[in-house]
Amino acid sequence: MIFLNIIKVIGIIILVIILLLILILAAILYLPIRYRIESRNMEISGKASWIGLIRIRFSYSRQKGPAAIGKALWIPFFEHPSSPDQTPTIKDSNKKGSNIKDSNNKESNEKESNEKDPNNDNYDFDVKNVASKSRHSKKKRKKTGKIKKIKMQIQKWIHVFQSNRNALRKCKQTLFHIIKVILPKKIRIEGTYSLGSPDKTAQALGIAACFPIGYRNNWKIYPDFDVEEAYFDGYIDIRGRIYLYQIVFPLLRLLFDKECKKLYKAVK
């Protein structure tokens, strides 16, 4: 009886651990990662968070440069810039100075030897000509060999792509799906801009008017045709969320697909 009770307790503990792992995995896959990027007067700041447990903040300005910090709960796990640059030590400078002295001594010794042997000029000239010709021929051989290898690789890739069109089509569909998942859901833009000339400014406004995303998000962009310098003065707000299951499951389908496995082997 005691042995059976011990087995029951162990089984319950194992089940609890398995359930906790399943809950953690489900939370990672189905709870979204939210991100937001803001820009005002060419200064950028943003943040990304997962349930408030993991938070990342970053910023960029022309004066201070890039900065970022990441925290798990309240514990930072990375920070940029972390510490000021270390100044070079005295030992390094002494080593550099000794290297410079050694190189100067070598150069002076070579000059002295050349000055002492003036009769060897013709011989050295002939040797240099022979060495340069041999080097030139070796370079030509290397170039021809590289060109042949590149041609062989191109032919191999063409054959691989032609024989695995269905796998490439699936990879392309998965890639576009992942890009669609990552792209922001809301983009808000307000401000005035100029591209330096009225023609370019009007062209940019016409191109922006062709995309319906501007009408959906109520973009308020006003062109400035009077200024002859390119600038943007305004506010940009980008928001989105990423569900990891929408990325992980399609990738797993690709990994276990028979046609994709053939493509992986061919690429290797």
Pick the closest to residue 68 from 82, 86, 52 (CA basis): 82
Token pair 């100075």: residue: 97
Q: What pLDDT sits at residue 138?
A: 66
Q: How far is CA 98 from CA 107, 110, 111, 183, 242, in A?
A: 14, 18, 20, 56, 57
What pLDDT sits at residue 235?
87
* Residue 126: predicted pLDDT: 55
Question: What tokens were used for 233?
Answer: 């003065």
pLDDT tens-digit series, residues 8-58: 889 899 999 999 999 999 988 999 999 999 988 778 899 999 888 899 999
Which structure tokens are listed for 19? Answer: 């359930």
pLDDT at residue 175 in the model: 93
Q: Collapsing DSSP states into helix, strand and coil, what is residue 161? A: helix
Residue with tokens 């030992």: 91
> Cα torsion at 9, 12, 13, 17 (round to 10°)?
170
> What pLDDT sits at residue 103?
52
- Predicted local confidence at residue 244, as pLDDT: 93
Say how far residue 209 (Cα) sits from the centre of its chain: 31
Q: What is the DSSP string of 169-227?
A: HHHHHHHHHHHHHHS-SEEEEEEEEEESSHHHHHHHHHHHHT-THHHHTT-EEEE-SS-
Contacts of 167 (CB under 8 A, 6+ apart): 257, 259, 260, 262, 263
Kind and range of the H or E element at 261? helix 258-267
Q: β-strands 230-242, 75-80: how paired?
A: unpaired
**Helix and strand counts by DSSP (H, E) for the chain:** 8, 8
CA 24, 26, 31, 37 torsion-angle sign = positive
The model carries a pTM of 0.63
The answer to whether the beta carbons of residues 266 and 212 sit under 8 Å apart is: no
Residues of the chain below pLDDT 70: 1, 82-141, 215
